[in-house]
Amino acid sequence: MDDLLQRCIVPAGGTVRDALSAIDRGASGIALAVDGGGRLQGVVTDGDLRRSLLRGTTLEEPLAGTLNTSFVALHRGAGRADALDLMRARQIDAIPVIDEDGRPVALHLLHAFIAPEARRNWAIVMAGGEGRRLRPLTDSVPKPMLQVAGRPILERIVLHLVGAGVTRIFVSVNYLAHVIEDHFGDGVRFGARIEYLRETEPLGTAGALGLLPETPADPVIVLNGDLVTNVDVGALLALHAARGFAATIGTRRYVHTVPFGCVTRDGDRVTSLEEKPSIVREVNTGIYALDPAVLRMVERGSALSMPDLLGRVIAGGGTVGAFEVEDDWIDVGQRDQLARAREGG
């Protein structure tokens, strides 16, 4: 019996207080009541206990009156998919697994299925720009702190990273840095550890990487701070690792339709006509995965753009890969893009 399961066990002949103690020990919202032979007799959740106490049950009363004996359980050998399907169908957060004798041998918890994989990768969010094209909106608010659907863009990025298992986040700041730092603090409120790379002068789209306090052991995610995106961080990192790229650029297909008929000619002789053709290009989304060796190419305190950094990688023989961002993505650089993000947010 594993440690978590052991902490959730309570004697079926115990009291309501015993069940509360078991729920507190297990921190799983459920207690499993077993008889003298270790066979599961019933379960009780923290919700069951609250309702019972509200009805006037005391802590010293027998647990039997509160116990749910019509509980849902899986038999040993059932897979995780079976457990998840059953929990979703029955709208429950925990389900015990029993052996052929009815003894609990495991406990499946819904949050363990949906909790993100904890990643050692860091993220660096570039949030030091002035957002001049969005003035006067950015006169007193830095562009990454403009709101989309009631939440700052940068907060959306942080929460998305945390949801993907990335919890150590560096934010480069310069213009109106205090607005960002006052909002996020140390990041604990957002489930992250947030540290700040303070630019005393603008360092470009990659220069702040030289301000990291140390070189990470794993590839890092780098994002521009003005993106509204649901990029699949795990898939980006997986492709980066599988292909052995030194750097990976998040890309997206961009289609521009020319609003006129177009003419191709040879001198003054027309060779073809095309009505309102579409031009398809692959654009840089401002999302990257970078190996630690790439970060060492950035000199501390020197301005550097991301294209120039990636150019250094290629010139040095490194491979730069592309990852197609198929999820939602809007670069909030101009008023029409901000309006689009707000309409869809």
In this structure, are residues 215 and 296 in contact, taking their beta carbons and an 8 Å threshold? Answer: yes
Q: 80-98: b or e for each residue (b if 16 or more CB lie within 10 Å)?
A: eeebbebbeeeebebbbbb
Q: What are phi and psi of 302, to 5 degrees?
A: -100, 135
Longest CA span, the chain: 99
Residue 276 designated active-site: yes
Tokens 């990976």 found at: 248
Tokens 């020319």 found at: 258
- β-partners of residue 101 are none
Tell me if residue 336 falls in helix, strand or coil: helix
Q: How many other CB atoms are there within 10 angstroms of residue 103's CB atom?
A: 17
Closest by CA to 144, choosing from 132, 129, 133, is 129
Tell me if residue 186 falls in helix, strand or coil: coil
In this structure, are residues 45 and 67 in contact, taking their beta carbons and an 8 Å threshold? Answer: no
In this structure, are residues 22 and 10 in contact, taking their beta carbons and an 8 Å threshold? Answer: yes
Catalytic pick among 276, 296, 300, 335: 276
For residues 49 and 66, what is the distance between their CA atoms, to the nearest angstrom?
7
For residues 256 and 258, what is the distance between their CA atoms, to the nearest angstrom?
6
Tokens 């029955």 found at: 90
- β-partners of residue 259 are none
Q: What are the Cα distances from residue 31, in Å, to 19, 84, 136, 325? A: 6, 19, 57, 44
For residues 55 and 79, what is the distance between their CA atoms, to the nearest angstrom?
38
Catalytic residue positions? 276
